């Protein structure tokens, strides 16, 4: 072997990776419903957006300021905000606002308690839920017997807005303490718990300037939604609260989540099967489990996740940074995923692919099938790892990860000393700086 051979080989790899990268990471532009919100992203280019403050609005924007549009307060329908169940008043006010495309107002400095409730659409276009005050979950668990999976549901709403700076408070503490994940708690049970706010089957939805606190389980979930714009959410729950994902996306397309600050006991954002064209931009996470794609493939299911971009995020003290997790035995794929411009601060597993995910008490059986992971880009990811292993690719033995790109990834140790990378069953290409490198 001549001395030049390694250099030539390296050059060829670089050239190949450039070509591959340019053709492999074209993320389809999101559906153009509103050019203000959706734009195509380009590799490595920071796209400036107007700065906005979290959970705070200066004044109603033009959408809501139209004088001709009616304002309907829940108080006009008998809501009391005195600790009793205000569900009936909310339902009546909803029916009125929904049928007129009006603005449903939840007044500020008041706390409304609600038993489980479904707000059904479709409504007249631009119906808006303006929450200035607080909506609090009914405290007695017996009220949830009919449907233990949901507290508030928005079903089949289209061209619908939620805004106002107010709070959804799930009052989750008494739900968490029965969970087997809650520390030192035996006996325990893992009975279903409600997701605080679920949007089901929605289309052209905007959720802005809302605070979510202490959900019973997940804080806000989008199921089977299409064209959703989420911004300026603040989600808070204690670090030890079980399964309290911040924002959950499932079976949904064209989802844009921005400028949100999420600290909970589980995933900051979780994106699961059936999700396509998801952009996550300007997110702050911690505490919690980081930004996750998955889990996928549980119970031998087929997964499909495509075109996910996480751009500009800061994760602080989370157990994971950017994670893809799949169970053994699944099938399908997750591909065209970009994690870029991310800062890790004392994150335990900053970059992790775990294809042996097993979140159950019994050990998982070894299985040959797995969800195929490919075309995953990690670009400009910097910061510190709380553990020695800063990069962990635990890909499937039978279905290895393909076309994994690492471009300017530098993860130092939080406590000093070096970091390492474990890379099993992964085919990757690296460009730019890359530390820690996969050990041979």
If one asks whether residue 314 binds ligand NAG (CB under 6 A), the answer comes out as no
If one asks whether residue 63 binds ligand NAG (CB under 6 A), the answer comes out as yes
Nearest distance from C-beta of residue 386 to ligand NAG, angstroms: 4
What sign does the dihedral 398-378-34-231 (CA atoms) show?
A: positive
Taking CB under 6 A as the criterion, the residue among 2, 142, 189, 299 binding ligand NAG is: 299
Nearest distance from C-beta of residue 257 to ligand NAG, angstroms: 20
Cβ closest to ligand NAG, residue 134 vs residue 414: 414
In 95-219 the beta strands, taken as DSSP E runs, fall at: 103-106, 111-114, 117-120, 127-131, 134-137, 150-155, 158-163, 167-169, 195-200, 203-213
248 is catalytic: no
CA dist., res. 129 & res. 137, Å (int) = 17
Nearest distance from C-beta of residue 243 to ligand NAG, angstroms: 12
Cβ closest to ligand NAG, residue 203 vs residue 375: 203
Per-residue binding letters, 269-298, with ligand NAG (x by CB under 6 A): -----------------------------x
Q: Of these residues, 150, 219, 248, 289, which one is catalytic?
A: 289
CA dist., res. 150 & res. 248, Å (int) = 14
Please name the residue ranges forming H helices in 112-211.
Answer: 173-176
Cβ closest to ligand NAG, residue 120 vs residue 126: 126
CA dist., res. 75 & res. 429, Å (int) = 60
Nearest distance from C-beta of residue 413 to ligand NAG, angstroms: 11
Residue 274: name the closest of 209, 310, 321, 221 by CA: 221
Nearest distance from C-beta of residue 352 to ligand NAG, angstroms: 15
Cβ closest to ligand NAG, residue 246 vs residue 383: 383
Taking CB under 6 A as the criterion, the residue among 414, 430, 434, 436 binding ligand NAG is: 414
In 237-296 the beta strands, taken as DSSP E runs, fall at: 247-250, 253-263, 269-271, 275-285, 291-296
In 176-330 the beta strands, taken as DSSP E runs, fall at: 195-200, 203-213, 220-223, 226-236, 247-250, 253-263, 269-271, 275-285, 291-296, 302-316, 320-326
Residue 129: name the closest of 106, 109, 150 by CA: 106
274: DSSP letter:
T
Nearest distance from C-beta of residue 239 to ligand NAG, angstroms: 10
- Beta carbons of 227 and 182 less than 8 angstroms apart: no
Please name the residue ranges forming H helices in 153-280.
Answer: 173-176
Nearest distance from C-beta of residue 117 to ligand NAG, angstroms: 25
298: DSSP letter:
G
140: DSSP letter:
-
Nearest distance from C-beta of residue 70 to ligand NAG, angstroms: 11
Nearest distance from C-beta of residue 348 to ligand NAG, angstroms: 6
410-439: burial string, b at 16+ Cβ within 10 Å, e else: bbbbbeeeebbbbbbbbebbbbeebbbebe
Report the side by side order of strands in the sheet with 291-296. Answer: 117-120, 150-155, 195-200, 220-223, 247-250, 269-271, 291-296, 320-326, 349-354, 389-394, 420-424
Cβ closest to ligand NAG, residue 15 vs residue 63: 63
Torsion of CA 250, 251, 254, 257, to 10 degrees: 0
Taking CB under 6 A as the criterion, the residue among 95, 126, 314, 413 binding ligand NAG is: 126
Taking CB under 6 A as the criterion, the residue among 230, 237, 386, 409 binding ligand NAG is: 386
How many residues belong to the site for ligand NAG (CB under 6 A)? 11
If one asks whether residue 346 binds ligand NAG (CB under 6 A), the answer comes out as yes
If one asks whether residue 306 binds ligand NAG (CB under 6 A), the answer comes out as no
Cβ closest to ligand NAG, residue 101 vs residue 238: 101
Taking CB under 6 A as the criterion, the residue among 70, 78, 125, 418 binding ligand NAG is: 125
If one asks whether residue 381 binds ligand NAG (CB under 6 A), the answer comes out as no
Cβ closest to ligand NAG, residue 62 vs residue 439: 62
Cβ closest to ligand NAG, residue 237 vs residue 298: 298
Cβ closest to ligand NAG, residue 17 vs residue 328: 328
364-373: burial string, b at 16+ Cβ within 10 Å, e else: eeeeebbbbb
Structure-token pair, residue 113: 């308690």
Residue 246: name the closest of 317, 195, 305 by CA: 195
Number of H helices and number of E strands within the chain? 4, 27
* List of residues contacting ligand NAG (CB under 6 A): 63, 101, 125-126, 298-299, 317, 346, 348, 386, 414
Q: Which residues are catalytic?
A: 289
């Amino acid at each position: 072997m001549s001395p030049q051979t390694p250099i030539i080989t390296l050059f060829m790899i670089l050239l190949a990776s450039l070509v591959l990268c340019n053709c492999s990471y074209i993320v389809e532009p999101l559906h153009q419903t509103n050019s203000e919100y959706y734009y195509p992203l380009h590799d490595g280019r920071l796209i400036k957006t107007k700065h906005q403050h979290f959970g705070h609005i200066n004044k109603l924007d033009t959408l809501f300021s139209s004088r001709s549009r009616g304002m309907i307060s829940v108080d006009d329908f008998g809501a009391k905000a005195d600790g009793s169940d205000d569900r009936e008043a909310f339902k009546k006010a909803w029916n009125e606002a929904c049928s007129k495309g009006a603005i449903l107002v939840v007044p500020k400095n008041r706390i409304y308690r609600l038993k489980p409730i479904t707000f059904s659409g479709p409504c007249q276009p631009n119906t808006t839920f303006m929450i200035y005050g607080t909506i609090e979950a009914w405290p007695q668990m017996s009220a949830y017997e009919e449907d233990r999976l949901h507290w508030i549901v928005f079903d089949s709403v289209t061209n619908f807005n939620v805004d106002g700076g107010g709070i959804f408070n799930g009052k989750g503490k008494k739900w968490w303490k029965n969970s087997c994940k809650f520390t030192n708690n035996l006996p325990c049970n893992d009975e279903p718990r409600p997701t605080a706010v679920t949007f089901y089957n929605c289309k052209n939805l905007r959720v802005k300037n809302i605070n979510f606190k202490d959900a019973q389980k997940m804080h806000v979930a989008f199921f089977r939604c299409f064209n959703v714009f989420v911004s300026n959410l603040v989600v808070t729950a204690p670090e030890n609260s079980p399964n309290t994902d911040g924002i959950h996306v499932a079976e949904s397309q064209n989802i844009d989540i921005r400028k949100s600050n999420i600290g909970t006991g589980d995933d900051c954002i979780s994106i699961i099967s059936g999700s396509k064209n998801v952009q996550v931009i300007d997110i702050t996470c911690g505490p919690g489990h980081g930004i996750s794609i998955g889990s996928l493939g549980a119970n031998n299911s087929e997964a499909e996740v495509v075109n996910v971009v996480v751009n500009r995020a800061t994760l602080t003290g989370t157990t994971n940074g950017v994670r893809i997790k799949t169970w053994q035995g699944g099938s399908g794929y997750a591909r065209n995923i970009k994690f870029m411009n991310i800062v890790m601060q004392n994150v335990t597993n900053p970059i992790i692919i775990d294809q042996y995910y097993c979140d159950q008490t019994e050990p998982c059986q070894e299985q040959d099938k797995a969800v195929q992971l490919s075309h995953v880009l990690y670009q400009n990811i910097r910061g510190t790892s709380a553990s020695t292993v800063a990069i962990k690719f635990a890909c499937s033995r039978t279905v290895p990860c393909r076309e994994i790109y690492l471009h300017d990834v530098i993860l130092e140790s939080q406590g000093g000393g070096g970091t390492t990378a474990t890379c099993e069953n992964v085919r990757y290409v690296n460009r730019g700086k890359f530390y820690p490198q996969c050990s041979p």
